[in-house]
């Protein structure tokens, strides 16, 4: 009987990186680790690196990933936690870093693309790896119309705001707003209201990753609304279009057994 051909490993080993680019958050702890690691392993420009090592917390990790997107680099990013939660990060362990990087497992993330039109007529474009959300700017609730793929799905949503999340971002603001956690392989985008008043019991929707969502701000002069793509905030918007951009991606690296998919599953069983 002929033997079955050997199966390739699920996560093939990486080659030990020779050129590492370290990027650090503007905090004392992160800058301290940057000096130690750069002195020990060397440091190159991100455009010349085999791997980018991000030193900070989840917020700085998102900033680093946006830099990678904007520079159109194909360089994977490995985070080392110098912050608090560190959901996207790995432990801060200095020894044998190149060997550890060679054993990492990758997750490929696609961003949301936001197009926001302000009351002035100015148009803003931005990418978001966590979420795009709208939020009222004053004491009065926002009034939004929700269209999906050109069809009006909700003529009027009275709320503090609403958000569309990536699967990777579904455990962040989306979860705090009582939205569903979505696996990376789910090809779904959560659309979640923030403190809905009317309809009071609407908890949002799970949309296919191909969906095109448009929020139109009703009574925008009386009830101004801001739009936020990760950390970029646009004030006084009149409409916001959101769609996943499958032509762009970033690669995030995790230690064995601590992949992003595993973390998202584990989050659903946490207290």
Q: Does residue 117 sit in the same domain as residue 237?
A: yes
86 among annotated binding-site residues: no
13 among annotated binding-site residues: no
User: How many angstroms separate the CA atoms of 6 and 185, rounded?
Assistant: 26
175 among annotated binding-site residues: yes
| Residues of the domain holding 32 | 20-109+249-267
Q: Does residue 176 sit in the same domain as residue 147?
A: yes
Q: Sheet holding 77-81: strands in order across?
A: 20-24, 51-56, 77-81, 250-254, 105-109
Q: What is the mean pLDDT of residues 157-185?
A: 93
Torsion of CA 171, 174, 180, 182, to 10 degrees: -50
Q: Does residue 41 sit in the same domain as residue 150?
A: no
Can 236 be counted among the known catalytic residues?
Answer: no
pLDDT > 90 in the chain, percent: 79
CA 216, 221, 224, 230 torsion: positive or negative?
positive
pLDDT score recorded for residue 2: 42
Q: Does residue 166 sit in the same domain as residue 223?
A: yes
Any domain includes 1: no
Taking each continuous run of H as one helix and of E as one strand, the counts in the chain are 5, 17
Q: Is 54 a residue whose pLDDT tops 50?
A: yes
* Least confident span in 220-224, 236-240, 266-270: 266-270
Q: Does residue 83 sit in the same domain as residue 24?
A: yes
Any domain includes 6: no
- pLDDT tens for each residue of 230-259: 989 999 999 999 999 999 999 999 999 888
Q: What is the mean pLDDT of the chain?
A: 91
pLDDT category, 137, cuts 50, 70, 90? very high
Q: Does residue 185 sit in the same domain as residue 253?
A: no
Q: What is the mean pLDDT of residues 212-227?
A: 97
Q: Does residue 158 sit in the same domain as residue 232?
A: yes
Any domain includes 32: yes
Element (H, E) at 161: strand 161-165
Q: What is the pTM of this model?
A: 0.85
Any domain includes 95: yes
Any domain includes 212: yes
131 among annotated binding-site residues: yes
Q: Is 3 a residue whose pLDDT tops 80?
A: no
pLDDT score recorded for residue 14: 62
Any domain includes 12: no
**What total number of domains does the chain contain?**
2
Q: What is the mean pLDDT of residues 53-60?
A: 94
pLDDT category, 271, cuts 50, 70, 90? low
User: Which of the residues 35, 58, 95, 147 is marked catalytic?
Assistant: 58
């Amino acid at each position: 009987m002929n033997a079955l051909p050997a199966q390739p490993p699920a996560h093939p080993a990486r080659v030990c990186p020779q050129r590492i680019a370290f990027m650090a958050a503007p905090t004392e702890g992160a800058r301290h680790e940057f000096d130690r690691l750069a002195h020990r392993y060397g440091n190159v420009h991100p455009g010349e690196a085999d791997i980018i090592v991000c030193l900070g917390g989840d917020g700085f990790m998102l900033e680093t990933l946006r830099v990678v997107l904007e520079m159109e680099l194909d360089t994977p990013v490995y985070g080392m936690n110098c912050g608090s939660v560190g959901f996207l990060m790995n432990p801060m362990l200095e020894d044998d870093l190149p060997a550890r990087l060679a054993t990492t497992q990758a997750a490929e993330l696609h961003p949301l693309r936001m197009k926001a039109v302000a009351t002035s007529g100015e148009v803003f474009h931005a990418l978001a790896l966590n979420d795009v959300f709208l939020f009222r700017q004053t004491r009065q609730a926002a009034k939004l119309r929700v269209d999906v793929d050109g069809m009006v799905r909700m003529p009027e949503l009275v709320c503090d705001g609403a958000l569309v999340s990536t699967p990777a971002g579904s455990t962040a603001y989306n979860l705090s707003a009582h939205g569903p956690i979505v696996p990376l392989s789910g090809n779904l985008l959560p659309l979640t209201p923030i403190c809905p008043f009317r309809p009071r019991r609407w908890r949002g929707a799970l949309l296919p990753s191909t969906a095109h969502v448009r929020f139109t701000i009703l009574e925008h002069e009386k009830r101004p609304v801001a739009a936020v793509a990760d950390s970029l905030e646009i004030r006084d918007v009149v409409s916001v279009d959101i769609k996943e951009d499958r032509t762009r991606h970033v690669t995030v690296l995790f230690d064995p057994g601590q992949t992003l998919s595993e973390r998202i599953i584990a989050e659903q069983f946490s207290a």
